[in-house]
Amino acid sequence: MQLHLQLLLAFAVSLSSCRDETVPDINQAVFEQLINSSIYSPMEKPPSDGALNVTSAVQILNIGDISSRYLQFDVVLLISHFWTDSRLNVTISDESPDKGYDSEHCLDGESWHTERVWTPAVYLVDEQQARLSGLNDIKADNLYLRLCPGGRLTYRYRLQATLHCSMNLTKYPFDTQECKIELESWRYNNEIMRLEECTTDICGPTLMLTETVPEFRIQHLGSWVEPRNDPWRRNNIYSVLVVQLQFDREHMYYIYQFYMPSMLFVCVSWVSFWLDHAAAPARVTLGTSTLLSFVYLSSASKEALSKGSVITFIDWWYFVCMFFICASLLEYALVNIVYRRDWHVQVKKKNAKNILKSALKAPAKEHYSAKSLPSRPSCGCAPESFSDMNQLTVSSMMSLDSMTSNALGKFNDIEKFPGAEPKPLELEKDDFDDLDFNPRRVSVSMPTLGRVEKCFQCMSYPEVALWIDTRSRVVFPFAFLSFIIVYVLLVALIA
């Protein structure tokens, strides 16, 4: 009994395999009868009253690389066309459902069928690859043809294409790009063949993505058919099927890869404000290495963009960050220049305006030299009583008292004549032995000895250098934080 069952099973399998092998033969016989060269020509357009309506649909199976450098993107498309050819009207009897026909009684063909049947000539407008100029290089497995009763034809083909996309990179990397897939009639103008958008369920959805693009979020904006004027072709009105896509760039990738590292580089450059003034190798090495690392980072981010004259959002960011890094280097150059001076600087009040103005104003060389002015931590306060060519030269009250006590002996003649016109007296170098400087010549007006009107403060140049570093520790972070806030607000409002 078991042997009989095995024989019956083997016989049934052999019958089913034989029936499957006859299906292509039946399809081929029917097609051969329909496309007989004596009654059918694949070079002629199907007869129609007016323009032939070809319903077309573009389905996006996958989107590959979206290149902002080359302004292009890779797609895998499934393009479908539906039209009616009355010359291929076929009627299949319902009495033969076992002859390889489906429930709709349609014939399925392959690539060799498409070569002998008229198909609409269309092309992708913005294709970048030459192999996609026509359909002859598409493999047979990617072509499909179906013939249904009444001459209704369905023609589908799957292809990979690299398409151009006109991108506006001004808001990069917070930009949104709109790219189009355009399918245009190649051979026939709008009066002979007209493309129509497929709106039925047989076409399926436009986006059929199986994978996501890491750098973008993809949205389908819509599809439509529009007439287009091509001045370089005769009868220049052709119908175009347009599918518009929107690519929203993901921001977090650029924040992690470029914005945060650049912020760290700027913050690292501020470490030099806490280093000693005399540590020139450490401060210079820190500044230059930070600058070079930042330049490398900015160059790496620009490699993903096309080479053009457009200034992007990230360019403004890099420019300001570069400014802060260079400013930290220039700050140390200023500090180093001030620190190496050996004389005191005298200011009316310890504020930024007076300190920087007095520190950067070099004293006249004809009055005293740097060697004659030893550096001191501070100079205290002195009255404005003695002047050397309108330059304040008194550094302390003790020096003032010593100088006046030595000089009063030479002014007795003036005290004897109170009403006399006071005249400047010239004091020699020996009268200033008790002072902390050695000017060669000072003019003194005696009536001003009793007037102590203004109190000047004196700082040593190392103190000025330390003051600049201390203020920089606050000014630089505050200015950079203000820039970040303004930058974020502008991005939120504009992008």
Phi/psi at 383 (5° precision): -75, 155
Condensed to tens digits (0 to 9), the pLDDT of residues 306-347 reads: 887 789 999 999 999 999 999 999 999 888 887 776 556 666
pLDDT at 465 (0 to 100): 80
In percent, the amount of the chain with pLDDT more than 90 equals 29
pLDDT band per the 50, 70, 90 thresholds, residue 353: low
Q: Are strands 193-197 and 176-185 parallel, antiparallel or unpaired?
A: unpaired
Query: What's the rounded Cα separation, in Å, for the pair 483 and 317?
Result: 9
pLDDT for 223 beyond 60: yes
pLDDT for 17 beyond 70: no
As given in the structure block, the two tokens for residue 138 are: 């598409």
pLDDT for 55 beyond 90: yes
Among 185-189, 281-285, 429-433, the least confident range? 429-433
pLDDT for 192 beyond 70: yes
pLDDT at 343 (0 to 100): 59
pLDDT at 1 (0 to 100): 43
The CATH architecture annotation of domain 35-250 reads Distorted Sandwich (2.70)
* Mean model confidence pLDDT for the chain: 73
Q: What is the mean pLDDT of residues 354-374?
A: 51
H or E stretch at 92: none
pLDDT at 397 (0 to 100): 40
Q: What is the DSSP string of 372-410?
A: GS---SEEEEE-S-EEETTEE----HHHHHHHHHHHGGG
pLDDT for 289 beyond 90: yes
Extents of the domains making up the chain: 35-250, 253-340
pLDDT at 214 (0 to 100): 78
Query: What's the rounded Cα separation, in Å, for the pair 461 and 36?
Result: 104
Farthest CA pair distance, the chain:
158
Q: By the 8 A CB rule, do 459 and 329 touch?
A: no
Q: Which CATH code, of 3.20.10.10, 2.30.30.40, 1.10.8.60, 1.20.58.390, is assigned to 253-340?
A: 1.20.58.390
> Quick check: helix, strand or coil at residue 423?
coil
pLDDT at 116 (0 to 100): 82
Across-strand partners of 194?
53
Query: What's the rounded Cα separation, in Å, for the pair 142 and 347?
Result: 86
> Quick check: helix, strand or coil at residue 203?
coil
pLDDT at 133 (0 to 100): 39
Among 87-96, 261-270, 375-384, the least confident range? 375-384
Most confidently modeled range among 129-143, 219-233, 392-406, 430-444: 219-233
pLDDT at 310 (0 to 100): 85
pLDDT at 358 (0 to 100): 63
Q: What is the mean pLDDT of residues 215-238?
A: 84
In percent, the amount of the chain with pLDDT more than 70 equals 62
Sheet of strand 442-444, all strands in order from the earlier edge strand to the far edge: 391-392, 386-388, 442-444, 425-427
pLDDT at 92 (0 to 100): 56
Among 199-203, 263-267, 375-379, the least confident range? 375-379
Condensed to tens digits (0 to 9), the pLDDT of residues 256-285 reads: 999 999 999 999 999 999 988 888 889 999
Q: What is the mean pLDDT of residues 219-236?
A: 82
pLDDT at 439 (0 to 100): 41
CB atoms within 10 A of CB 410: 13
pLDDT for 348 beyond 60: yes
Condensed to tens digits (0 to 9), the pLDDT of residues 127-152 reads: 877 454 344 455 546 788 888 888 88
Among 95-109, 212-226, 256-270, 458-472, the least confident range? 95-109
pLDDT at 80 (0 to 100): 93
Among 9-13, 162-166, 168-172, the least confident range? 9-13
Tell me which DSSP letter residue 127 carries. B
